[in-house]
Amino acid sequence: MSDRHSSVVLWILVACGGLLVFGVLVFVLLIYSMKSEQASDFSFGEDKVAVVDLTGEIFDSTSFVEQLDKYGKDSSIKAIVLHIDSPGGSAAASQEIYSAINRVRTKNKKIVVASIASVGASGAYYAACAADKVYANPSALTGSIGVILQYYSYGDLLKWMKMKDVVVKSGQFKDTGDPARDLTDAEKEYLQKLIDDTYQQFVEAVAKGRKLSVDAVKTVADGRVFTGREAKANKLVDEVGDLQDAIDAAAKMANIKGEPHVIKSTKQKPSLFDLIFGDASSLIPPPLQRMSKEAPLQYLWHP
């Protein structure tokens, strides 16, 4: 065999070997990811309490709602504890989570208890109000009942770069919120009406969930956050306590005898498999995520 042919065969063997190693690596990562996601769901016993995390800024409700629905359909799970550590986020996504919690309580007949860790503000607090009972650590920050619309304006930057924003539109308000220019007075009025209506929806949801009057909620619905102790004094939460207190309360409310079996699906950190084949958007900091999106109405607390 000539040297040329030998080199070609060698390169083919090396390429095949590389593809084989890569394939095995991907397979191992996939199996590990599946096992680590399912392992924490496994527990002996029939009467279980499931802990579901609601953490970070709320951009999308899909993953949380799917997990909640899965536990809602599991007859061995008698109660669900929402472990909340979030400043809120998208108004619509927060409302979807609120609706999912109500659905799992009414349709699936599950006891749901919310436990606010460090922060459970704005949209996260909106979601908590759908629970049967709300716990908060004494120094946790919660409340922040209000709506905000915020986006970055780069009109001056375009002028400095001698660039123009060209818009062809069908109506006066079609490009409202264009970051390349300032809002007109009519646009400010238009957006304020949207915010006022969304704010009213928030207030009504809190009033319903906390069994308070709308007027009573409005006295504390000015965007302020409260500590857990202050929130209890204002009837925004039921009890001051930690996650274990919430789990114990959920088990008692669900008539679970003895020590409850607790299961928890941990949120996976992005793996090499995710970076290669999946969605690595969680690696992008929230401010940069907001820059890449439309400017939605938000139930979001800004520290």
In order along its 303 residues, the chain shows pLDDT tens digits of 555 555 555 556 556 666 665 665 655 455 544 444 443 444 445 789 999 999 999 988 999 999 999 999 999 999 999 999 999 999 999 999 999 999 999 999 999 999 999 999 999 999 999 999 999 999 999 999 999 998 888 888 888 998 988 999 999 999 888 888 999 999 999 999 999 999 999 999 999 999 999 999 999 999 999 999 999 999 999 999 999 999 999 999 999 988 889 998 765 454 444 444 444 444 455 555 544 445 578 888 877
How far from 25 is each of 19, 20, 30, 124, 270, CA to CA, in Å?
10, 9, 9, 38, 16
Q: Give the span between the Cα atoms of 241 and 81, in whole angstroms.
A: 13
* pLDDT score for 277: 46
- Catalytic annotation, residues: 122, 174
In one-letter notation, the amino acid at residue 200 is Q
* pLDDT score for 35: 43
SS (H, E, C) the chain: CCHHHHHHHHHHHHHHHHHHHHHHHHHHHHHHHHHHHHHCCCCCCCCEEEEEEEECCECCCHHHHHHHHHHHCCCCEEEEEEEEEECEEEHHHHHHHHHHHHHHHHCCCCEEEEEEEEEEECHHHHHHCCCCEEEECCCCEEECCCCECCCCCCHHHHHHCCCCCCCCCCCCCCCCCCCCCCCCHHHHHHHHHHHHHHHHHHHHHHHHHHCCCHHHHHCCCCCCEEEHHHHHHCCCCCEECCHHHHHHHHHHHCCCCCCCEEEECCCCCCCHHHHHHCCCHHHCCHHHHHHCCCCCCEEECCC
Phi-psi region of 213 (alpha: psi -120 to 50; beta: other; left: phi over 0): beta
Burial group, residue 169, by CB count within 10 angstroms (0-12, 13-18, 19+)? exposed
Residues 199, 202, 207, CA angle at the centre, nearest 5°? 125
Domains of the chain, with CATH numbers?
A: 40-300 (3.90.226.10)
Q: Hunting for tokens 């060698």 — which residue is that?
A: 10
